[in-house]
Amino acid sequence: MSFYQVLVFIHIFSAIIGMGPGFILTTVVKSGDNMTELRHSYAIRHRLHIYVMIGGTLLLVTGLLMGWMNPSLFQMGWYVTSLVLFLAALAIGPIMLTPRSKPIKTLLATHKGEEIPEEYRRLSKELFFYENVENIIFMIIIALMITKPF
């Protein structure tokens, strides 16, 4: 097995480890029916997000290393488009997700009682919209990696 093949293996494995849990992060927290369950759901979500970060980092590093080893990839539309979309998806985190998740974290830490406040529903709806946009971007990237259409 060549070093390039090892990179491909790590790249695919990283996609499974990183993107798989990423697709269910929103679903995990939608299952909470009261504040205790919601807090627990967010704790689980946080643990899953660690896999997403590790997998995503490995995806980017191995993808760029494969491009460095095989520069003709940078002339292929599917590769360049995937890379641009991946970088855009990475930017969504600090630009769109973090500012929308901070008020939710504060609410989870400070809210008294078991009933989920309406403010949470409003805040989470906006957060989940951007998470779903990010998931669509990742699905497009996966489709490009599989089909290599151009």
Site of tokens 């669509």:
136
pLDDT digits (tens, 9 = 90+) for 98-126: 999 999 999 999 999 999 999 999 999 99
Instruction: Please report, to the nearest 10 degrees, the dihedral formed by the alpha carbons of residues 127, 46, 21, 14 taken in order.
Output: 120
Q: What is residue 91's predicted lDDT score, i.e. its pLDDT?
A: 95
- Measured CA to CA, the distance from residue 62 to residue 7 in angstroms comes to 6
The closest alpha carbon to 108, from 96, 117, 95, belongs to: 117
Percent of the chain with pLDDT over 90: 97
Structural domain boundaries enclosing 93: 3-147
Helix, strand counts (H, E) of the chain? 6, 0
Written as one string, the DSSP assignment of 74-117 is: GG-HHHHHHHHHHHHHHHHIIIIIHHHHHHHHHHHHH--SSSPP
Residue 2's SS3 state is coil
Number of structural domains, the chain? 1
Check pLDDT > 90 for residue 31. no
